[in-house]
A and B are shown apart, each in its own frame.
Chain A
């Protein structure tokens, strides 16, 4: 199996002893088909057991191993070493506080995710005896793309609006709000609008579009947010400009 010597420059931060972060360079022999996460695992196993980072599935499903690789938000299990030349710079996801080395604090995202109520709020509750809530394939396709989010937060690391204005609810949480708004079984749009149709909601988005470019699940948050801007504008027009209109 073909091997090559890979150099990685990894951001290190120890909250117990450091006041700022610094880069540490590692040289590690890697197999040609490895990803950046494999290289980090090899460093941790053979060179430096103090290196900290998160990972779980190693197959771009769990969304745990997001990092900045050469300045680009990537899942490190999805970043093949053969795609890079020279020293590979590995940093924690941008825009999130660094807990230690490559581990970031996702608390802000988790709190925002809760605020958009990312679950079905039934239009009308019915007893189990009445059977399931049915949905046609066309109704499913209306939101399916937006249900593929793996909460990896790469879109937050790519979004300059979130970096500059941390109050912004952000791409993934708003996209999940859209996913449930679009679901034929759901009746919770009005509740979600209290968070979505605000300055911190969709109106903080200036359509940079970076979220959709970096999404490893091809969710396209930028499209979800622009669609919510249109529906929120229609709500406003109906409420304020049409006599007797209610959003």
Chain B
């Protein structure tokens, strides 16, 4: 008897609908598009800044348009979600062993959240919010 195995192809564009965990993964990956788009916005801002005061003022005015505010809000939500998923993952990538025991994963992720909060306060301080 010869072997005649059945090969089942994975649908390349719809596999992530097979299970909620794959949709969660894709939602994490899609946040990168917003973060990339926001980086492009920052580069455009730098270019406007180098073009002179009038160009810079025009850029700032454009940032305040309703469409721009909605875009920035979406980028903020995506960035927070992206950061949270990675902070939660740090305990897997960077386990800390002390003697025979491992530091609880929540402490490792928690330290990242704490550092994030401190740095955010510093950035807001430098930006003159306080």
Interface residues on A, range: 35 or more
* B6 CB–A CB distance under 8 Å: yes
Is B100 touching A141 in the complex (CB atoms < 8 A)? yes
* A223 CB–B CB distance under 8 Å: yes
* A180 CB–B CB distance under 8 Å: no
Q: Taking CB as reference atom, which chain A residue is nearest B6?
A: A98
Q: Taking CB as reference atom, which chain A residue is nearest B10?
A: A163
Whole-angstrom CA separation of A132 from B15 in the bound complex: 50
Write out, one digit per residue, whether chain A residues 40-75 have a CB within 8 A of any chain B CB (1) or not (0).
Answer: 000000000000000000000000000000011000
Q: Taking CB as reference atom, which chain B residue is nearest A227?
A: B93
* A109 CB–B CB distance under 8 Å: no
Whole-angstrom CA separation of A72 from B49 in the bound complex: 54
Q: How far is the CB of B33 from chain A (nearest CB, A)?
A: 15
Is B15 touching A160 in the complex (CB atoms < 8 A)? yes
Partner of B3, one of A99, A164, A210: A99
Is A209 touching B100 in the complex (CB atoms < 8 A)? no
Contacts A71-B19, A163-B15, A226-B93 given; does A138 touch B99 at CB 8 Å? yes
Write out, one digit per residue, whether chain B residues 7-46 have a CB within 8 A of any chain A CB (1) or not (0).
Answer: 1101010011011011001000100000000000000000
Whole-angstrom CA separation of A59 from B92 in the bound complex: 28
Secondary structure dominating the interface of A: mixed
Partner of B93, one of A18, A21, A141, A230: A230
Is B6 touching A97 in the complex (CB atoms < 8 A)? yes
A192-247 contacts to B (CB < 8 Å)? 206-210, 212-213, 220, 222-223, 226-227, 229-230
* A137 CB–B CB distance under 8 Å: yes
Please give the residue numbers on chain A whose beta carbons come within 8 Å of chain B beta carbons, in ascending order: 13, 15-16, 18, 20-21, 71-72, 94-95, 97-99, 105, 137-138, 141-142, 160, 163-164, 206-210, 212-213, 220, 222-223, 226-227, 229-230
Nearest 7 pairs of A and B residues by beta carbon: A97-B5, A223-B92, A226-B93, A15-B4, A163-B10, A98-B6, A208-B25
A-B contact pairs, 12 of them (CB 8 A): A15-B6, A16-B4, A71-B19, A95-B8, A95-B10, A98-B6, A141-B100, A160-B16, A160-B25, A163-B10, A210-B21, A230-B94
Extra 9 A-B pairs, beta carbons < 8 Å, given A15-B6, A137-B100, A227-B95: A18-B6, A94-B10, A97-B8, A141-B101, A164-B10, A210-B22, A220-B92, A227-B93, A229-B93
